[in-house]
Chains A and B, each alone.
Chain A
Amino acid sequence: MKSTQEIYNLLKEKFQEKVIQHLNTLPKEEVIEVRPESINEIVEFLRDDKELHFDNLILLSGVDDANGSKNKLEDGTEEITGGTLSVYYHIESMDLRHKLVLKVSAPRENPEVESIYDVYGCANWHEREAFDMLGIIFKNHPDLTRILMPYDWEFGYPLRKDYRNPEFYQGMKVPY
């Protein structure tokens, strides 16, 4: 069983600048932030190392940080430019009974994150959901298509903070 600080030291030693920082602002959970293009090799190491042995991906979730510049539009809604979209990975070791939260952030205009499907198979649909809801692009994903919204949905990503409802979808009125 290892603490997040110990794991961070191990990762920093092995991956150096690919591991960005250890976020430890109580009472939030401790988070290790890494670079989006190397998340797959880092989780592969975390899974295969005998001391760490993270054998299970609990959850993968996308977040709109909404930390870009906000400009009010005429109809009262907001438009966000710049800033980041993030993905959080909760992984655990059922064998050694420790868990860890990883985070990657990618720029809002081009949110490309490496897929971890090769390491944890169950990430497949989680990544499709993050793509569907927030438009995060997972590189090397086997089938990155919408999972919840209709395949022909062309009005953007509904969980982004600056999402706006369309007036009509296939002739059906959308607003109340």
Chain B
Amino acid sequence: MGLLDREFTEDNIVISKVDDFLNWGRLSSLWQVGFGLACCAIEMMATSASHYDFDRFGVIPRPTPRQCDVIIISGTVTFKMATRVKRLYEQMPDPKYVISMGSCANCGGPYWEHGYHVLKGVDRVIPVDVYVPGCPPRPEALLEGLMKLQEKIRNESLVKKAIV
């Protein structure tokens, strides 16, 4: 559902719906918070590097949450960190999206029983859009998670709630 497969009625004019146009803009440049928590962050950095090249999806790490659209929770969320994660999320401008990457961020991972210091899933403090399973997930898995998020954004609407 690209933008440019629409009809050209006159020279240099493309006809599209407002929803499609805004969604296309949003999903094509998802700037992420330059932020990593544990070993998943290494895979996230590998995804950003030249082999997997996150930038071809328009994902650029930004050094401040105030310029970001998506936050990738890449690693173990400790209680000490959870308060900071929440603050980072709150500083992001709307519309904002969350990708939870890896078992620890999804549900506590190997710390689920005896991890006295680990939050059992980042969805206990912020709302998550896409969960990427793995320990840690390979870059391909993170790319698929991002494409799932793009799919979700593509189906959003200004007037009705998103159907995924």
Who on chain B is nearest to A151 by CB? B80
Question: Which size class do B's interface residues fall under?
Answer: 10 to 19
Q: Which residue of B lies closest to A149 (CB)?
A: B117
Main secondary structure of the interface of A (DSSP, over half): loop
| Interface size of A in residues (CB-CB distance below 8 Å) | 13
Interface residues of B (CB under 8 A from A): 79-80, 82-83, 107-108, 112-113, 116-117, 119-120, 124-125
Q: Report if A149-B125 is in contact (Cβ < 8 Å); known contacts: A158-B117, A176-B112.
A: no
Most buried by A among B116, B117, B124, B125: B116
- A163 with B116: in contact, given A149-B80, A170-B83 (CB under 8 Å)? yes
A172 touching B82 by the CB < 8 A rule? yes
A150-B80, A170-B83, A172-B125 given; A158·B116 CB < 8 A: yes
Contact yes or no, A176 B108, CB < 8 A? yes
Q: List 17 A-B contacts (CB under 8 A).
A: A148-B117, A149-B80, A149-B117, A158-B116, A163-B116, A169-B79, A170-B79, A172-B82, A172-B119, A173-B120, A173-B124, A174-B79, A174-B116, A175-B120, A176-B108, A176-B113, A176-B120
Of all chain A residues, the one with the shortest Cβ separation from B125 is: A172
**Nearest 5 pairs between A and B by C-beta?**
A158-B116, A150-B80, A176-B112, A176-B120, A169-B79
> Which residues of chain A (61-91) have a CB below 8 Å from chain B?
none
Name the B residues within 8 Å of A140 (CB-CB): none
Enumerate A118-176 residues with CB–CB distance to B below 8 Å. Answer: 148-150, 158, 163, 165, 169-170, 172-176
